[in-house]
Amino acid sequence: MNPIYINLAVEGPLDEVILNRVLDSTRRPFQVLRCYGKKGVDHLKNNLSRYDQAARVSSWIVLMDLDTQAECAPLLISDLLPHSEPNLFFRVAVRTVESWLLADRINFARFLGIPASRILSNPEWILDPKQEVVNLARRSRNKSIVEDIVPPPGSSNKVGKNYSGKLGEFVISSWNLTQACQQSDSLRRLVQMLHRIKPRDEGA
């Protein structure tokens, strides 16, 4: 099969790690040319039209968190980019990409060092999955988990010093995508979409 050249645009470094892991899981010949964004949701939204224009000559995947921006992913997509190029593939994580990690309850609980029963079985119902991950990490007996994921006492930061890096370790080494897809509709839709992307004649 011919290579499928693709550009990515995401909110942050953890999103990039997750999206690359999902791409690898498809066992299709994706070749990422470059990952854009990684400067937060506002930067991503402000550049959506640029990515859409670039999709006239190359294929793009844009991944954004739903958060509380809209009631559901289709509404957010139609609001931000009602008409897009055929080769721009816009996906939304409900409500954030952390819910996709929480969807693999057994392995994520093992990674955090907590009982799996503490992780909800319907992660897409969690309004703030990022805060949920931090709260769960607080219960860990693993010092590195707490230091990396949980902000220190008195800090105004919402997450710890190596939040994305630590969760990225889980994504690469332990995340069971098949299990996670069973509990996350938005993740399952992303995987299904990736199987529909076709190689372009122009390569890049």
Predicted pLDDT at 165: 98
How many whole angstroms separate alpha carbon 94 and alpha carbon 97? 7
First to last CA, the chain: 16
CA-atom Rg of the chain in angstroms = 17
Q: Which residues of the chain have pLDDT under 70?
A: 201-204
How many whole angstroms separate alpha carbon 168 and alpha carbon 175? 10
Structure tokens at 100: 């996709």
Predicted pLDDT at 203: 40
Chain position carrying tokens 């809209």: 70
Predicted pLDDT at 200: 79
Which amino acid belongs to residue 165? Answer: G
How many whole angstroms separate alpha carbon 77 and alpha carbon 163? 28
Residues of the chain with CATH 3.40.50: 4-94+185-194
Find residue 194's DSSP bridge partners: none
Structure tokens at 184: 């996350």
pTM, entire model: 0.95
Any residues with CB less than 8 A from the CB of 194 and at least 6 apart, and which? 22, 23, 26, 28, 30, 61
CATH architecture type of domain 4-94+185-194? 3-Layer(aba) Sandwich (3.40)
> What are the Cα distances from residue 171, in Å, to 19, 21, 175?
10, 7, 5
Q: What are 103-138's pLDDT values in tens digits? A: 999 999 999 999 999 999 999 999 999 999 999 999
